[in-house]
Structure 1
Amino acid sequence: MTQDVLWSPLADPAVLTLMPSPDFLSSEPFEGAAGLGPHHEGPQGYHAVYRGDIASQLLLLPGSKASPSLAALIPLDSQTLGRVEALLRFWRGYHKRPVPPDTRMTVQQRRRLRLMLRAADGRTNRASYRDIATAFFGTERVASNPWKTSSLRDTVIGLARGGAAMIGGGYLELLRHRRRS
Structure 2
Amino acid sequence: MADASAAQVFWCPETAPTSVVWLRPSAGSSGLPLSSSADVIAQRRTVEGLHLRLRGGLQVYVEGGDPSAPLAAMIPIAGSFSAALKGARDLDRILSGGVISEDLTLQQQVRLRRSLIALDAVQAQATYRQIAVQIFGPEAVARYDWRTSSIRDAAIRLVRTGRAMADGGYMRLLGGASS
- The question of whether the paired residues in 1 share the 8 Å contact of 2:38 and 2:95 is answered with no
How far 1:17 moved relative to its partner?
0.6
Relative to 1, partners in 2 of residues 1:147 and 1:176: Cα closer, same or farther, differing over 3 Å? Answer: same
Q: How far is the alpha carbon of 1:30 from its aligned partner?
A: 3.5
Partner of 1:93: 94
- Equivalenced residues, count: 173
Give 2:61's match in structure 1, choosing from 56, 59, 62.
Answer: 59
Distance across 2 between alignment mates of 1:29 and 1:162: 41
1:127 counterpart residue number: 126
Q: For residues 160 and 143 of structure 1, do their structure 2 counterparts lie closer, same or farther at Cα, with a shift above 3 Å needed?
A: same
Check 1:111–1:140 CA distance in 2 against 1; reply closer, same or farther (3 A cut).
Answer: same
Structure 1: 5+ residue stretches without partners: none
Name the CA shift for 1:124/1:147 in 2 (closer, same or farther; >3 Å): same
C-alpha distance in structure 2 between counterparts of 1:60 and 1:72, whole Å? 9
- Quote how far apart the aligned CAs of 1:140 are: 2.8
Question: Which residue of 1 is the match for residue 25 of structure 2?
Answer: 20
Q: In the alignment, which residue of structure 2 is the partner of 1:175? A: 174
**8 Å contact 1:20–1:67 — kept in the other structure?**
no
How large is the Cα RMSD of the aligned pairs?
2.7
- Return the alpha-carbon distance in structure 2 between the equivalents of residues 38 and 10 of structure 1: 18
CA deviation digits over 1:116-159, x for unaligned, max 9? 01111111222211112122223232222221121211110111
Distance 1:70 1:79 in 2: 21
**TM-score under structure 1 normalisation?**
0.80
Q: Which has the larger radius of gyration?
A: 1
Which structure 2 segments of 5+ residues have no match?
none
Letter in 1 for 2:125: R
TM-aligned CA deviation for residue 177 of structure 1: 8.1
Equivalent in the alignment of 1:84 = 85
Structure 2: distance between partners of 1:157 and 1:79: 32
Percent identical residues: 34
**Larger % of helix: which?**
2
